Structure 1
């Protein structure tokens, strides 16, 4: 059981912000034809700073001649503005590095794209074209829009029964300032989503509106105009957290949060980690998932422990042995699922041998959703893991490969993303990063091997920041 004692009872959800809303994330992408990916598991993206150029001679310098690394005062103007327009207010944002580079800020210098961003707590709303977007708040609160875009930037959103020609253009998106103009300061707001309301950024493409907003009391300072004022308007909160694990210790955090963030905080992460989930699969595919945090497999059984589970239509003789279990099942589930936000596996994977012939077997898994930082870095980028001062990294799990067709797919040909059964657990991230305050990993086949030739891959990492001596 995990618990938190908080000095201000009405803010009992603050532990969420320890994991999601406070720290600044950094993404570095080295190659011009590579996807630059920002993402938030909880909340929405807010770009703080961006650099296209070079600020030191080490970053993305592997294999480069010194002459290409010498200019460390190279930056393209307007980079942050481009990232803000494309990414602010979204949960996931992918941009090709080749969007930048014209004009070239320093000819002959090897450049990279680096973005610093935070994940702000917000309501994330997507509405398909020719529909109505409803934004509403509780009584006494008003809407404050972080950002809104109209267009299309993937082939999965708002696609039901749409011809391929209407969803193939995924480089079609523009800011929709009309949403904030219409809705800010109101308790409720209805926006018509069509080309008459917003300028058509791509004729012939079926589009959607994406909005991120918060609900706040009228006296609260909106986030957009309060970046400097919030420094003066803070509340000190003390949080004491404990994990019920062997060798665990209580951890005391003391931090400052603006009143805007305090009002926006929720308890979703804390409620996700206190209970153990149980999934039983009689045949085919088992799916584990966490809305917040990452999977931590506690116990598994492939076999049979009673006569009732998965017994429908099964002969009694096939239910008789209730002490049937296959050794090694737990290790398989931990290797494949720990540290992911969702995990699907076919029962064929665990059938390494038959522990009880003639008995009908099932797979039962007990798992929890552990609070963690979930990081995805596209191939040929740098994965940057970092913690606050005094804390160190502990990696729950890491995988290199591809397990869907939507992650790190921006402007990639179909042939490079169609293999979504290509993933390999790796211990190299833990070996390199555990116990360090910060750590940089190059995401490439030369580091992790190549689980699927010809497929464009990505690295997925789940880790926590702990004070030395309290790592699980």
Structure 2
């Protein structure tokens, strides 16, 4: 690796990974939201992995929960239950990292009119790979040899205004209640070693017309068991603690050495190519804008537009590396790669192979100082740094809207690497004086991704 070497032995990774994620498999969480009659949000969240709902209740099963100062007569009925609550929450939340629900969805019909109610959910966090693919791109699910895909959940729609938002008009992002949970991905992919799913209305229907959508999939790779097993969705798998632990350890070791692939078909309009690491930061390996296969992004295009499989835009990989390396999330417009057209009579796509490297990420607002440091015996190695603004939320406290509006203010810099690599500690001021001003009037921040590694001595 440029300017340094990282010694991440299998033994160290395996030990750390297993100790960390044994808790993910075995621990359970409980969320209780008291229903005061106004707009209440029931929020389930997994810091690592994805949600698996175990039990849920809307009603009352205890006189002590959400009691407050309510008269006892409103707490007495402890056999009040809204039917099908658990299944409704499972359908909305299983397989997601974050799930927010309104209690309004559970109030009608009222299961017990004279009782003060609450919504309570027990859930666990399962280790998972999460793939988010913008509309018009292809989601690639894959497992190592000997393991197969098992999909926890999938959703096609929109749940926030930031995901897959690069250069989209505000009207295309405004509906954040566009949920469309689907079991189609599980039916198409479970039990396979690899699977490709287009994020498109043609496959999933259009849950919110005029809204630019994305496909969110959570899955794991597991050993296929023979003999008797538990039926789950469209596959037959034995999810014992031992299998889960094995899959977990193997899964997160893959953070270091597994590769991912993102393909975005170029339909000629504004398409977003989105690279994302659930853990760690991006390291681009290869990239192509053009066509190297007649099967990728073929759809119903005439064969004459798919025949040229030697079409490549020069320097594509280097441009993506410069924009994305060292970031957790990177969104690119295909507009940046179209000129000059490498093959005018060919239907093209942008495809990137990348890995996720373990990293420490530091975000420092303009005017503050970023402190990078390593334990004794280790030194800093910077993966990447960027000074500017990529969203409206980071470092936004009490800033005027005009200071946040330019979210295309990117300024990748190697200055942090030059100043900090090989040192035990390093302080960098996030300022225009040091990095220049990539967007005047915009309040900026410095984003740095780095790791700590043992220096390698070379024989003389």
Aligned match of 1:82: 88
SS of the equivalent of 1:261 reads helix
Aligned match of 1:264: 248
Partners of 1:150 and 1:207 within 8 A in 2: yes
State how far apart, in whole Å, the 1-side matches of 2:105 and 2:393 are: 22
State how far apart, in whole Å, the 2-side matches of 1:11 and 1:222 are: 29
Aligned CA distance change for structure 1 residues 106 and 193 (closer, same or farther; 3 Å): same
Aligned match of 1:206: 212
Aligned CA distance change for structure 1 residues 48 and 226 (closer, same or farther; 3 Å): farther
Partners of 1:144 and 1:222 within 8 A in 2: no
State how far apart, in whole Å, the 2-side matches of 1:364 and 1:11 are: 28
Q: CA deviation at 1:26?
A: 0.3
Partners of 2:225 and 2:238 within 8 A in 1: no
Normalising by the residue count of structure 2, what TM-score does the alignment of the two structures yield?
0.51
Aligned match of 2:145: 139
Partners of 2:190 and 2:235 within 8 A in 1: no
Q: CA deviation at 1:19?
A: 3.0
RMSD: 3.9
Aligned CA distance change for structure 1 residues 93 and 223 (closer, same or farther; 3 Å): farther
What aligned pairs does 1:170-209 form with structure 2 within 5 A after superposition?
Answer: 170-209=176-215
Q: CA deviation at 1:108?
A: 1.8
Aligned CA distance change for structure 1 residues 171 and 364 (closer, same or farther; 3 Å): closer
Aligned CA distance change for structure 1 residues 140 and 52 (closer, same or farther; 3 Å): same
Question: Higher relative contact order by CA 8 Å / sep ≥ 6: 1 or 2?
Answer: 1
SS of the equivalent of 1:52 reads strand
Aligned match of 1:53: 59
State how far apart, in whole Å, the 2-side matches of 1:124 and 1:63 are: 43
Aligned match of 1:278: none
Normalising by the residue count of structure 1, what TM-score does the alignment of the two structures yield?
0.50
Partners of 1:43 and 1:119 within 8 A in 2: yes
Aligned match of 1:16: 20
Whether 1:124 and 2:130 are equivalent positions in the alignment is yes
Partners of 1:124 and 1:211 within 8 A in 2: yes
Unaligned regions of 5+ residues in structure 1, if any? 1-5, 234-256, 273-289, 293-340, 350-361, 369-403, 407-417, 419-472
Aligned CA distance change for structure 1 residues 347 and 229 (closer, same or farther; 3 Å): closer
Q: Equivalent of 2:371, from 358, 364, 370? A: 364
Aligned match of 2:33: 29
What aligned pairs does 1:261-410 form with structure 2 within 5 A after superposition?
Answer: 261-266=245-250, 364=371, 366=373
Partners of 2:43 and 2:99 within 8 A in 1: yes
Q: CA deviation at 1:68?
A: 1.4
SS of the equivalent of 1:213 reads strand
Q: CA deviation at 1:227?
A: 13
Aligned CA distance change for structure 1 residues 156 and 117 (closer, same or farther; 3 Å): same
State how far apart, in whole Å, the 1-side matches of 2:250 and 2:146 are: 18
Aligned match of 1:153: 159
State how far apart, in whole Å, the 1-side matches of 2:237 and 2:146 are: 23
Q: CA deviation at 1:267?
A: 8.1
Unaligned regions of 5+ residues in structure 2, if any? 1-10, 257-277, 281-359, 376-391, 395-403, 405-460
After superposition, what is the alpha-carbon deviation per residue over 1:394-413, rounded to whole angstroms, capped at 9, x for unaligned? xxxxxxxxxx969xxxxxxx
After superposition, what is the alpha-carbon deviation per residue over 1:75-107, rounded to whole angstroms, capped at 9, x for unaligned? 101111111111101111111111111100000
After superposition, what is the alpha-carbon deviation per residue over 1:90-149, rounded to whole angstroms, capped at 9, x for unaligned? 111111111111100000211111011100011111111111111111123221111111
Aligned match of 1:162: 168
SS of the equivalent of 1:84 reads helix
Q: CA deviation at 1:21?
A: 2.3
State how far apart, in whole Å, the 1-side matches of 2:130 and 2:230 are: 17
State how far apart, in whole Å, the 1-side matches of 2:170 and 2:14 are: 49
State how far apart, in whole Å, the 1-side matches of 2:139 and 2:251 are: 26
Aligned CA distance change for structure 1 residues 60 and 207 (closer, same or farther; 3 Å): same
Partners of 1:145 and 1:179 within 8 A in 2: yes
What aligned pairs does 1:88-99 form with structure 2 within 5 A after superposition?
Answer: 88-99=94-105
State how far apart, in whole Å, the 1-side matches of 2:249 and 2:121 are: 25
State how far apart, in whole Å, the 2-side matches of 1:343 and 1:35 are: 31
State how far apart, in whole Å, the 2-side matches of 1:219 and 1:51 are: 34
Aligned CA distance change for structure 1 residues 175 and 110 (closer, same or farther; 3 Å): same
After superposition, what is the alpha-carbon deviation per residue over 1:141-172, rounded to whole angstroms, capped at 9, x for unaligned? 22111111111111121111111212111111
Aligned CA distance change for structure 1 residues 142 and 102 (closer, same or farther; 3 Å): same
State how far apart, in whole Å, the 1-side matches of 2:115 and 2:109 are: 13
Q: CA deviation at 1:226?
A: 12
Aligned match of 1:224: 232
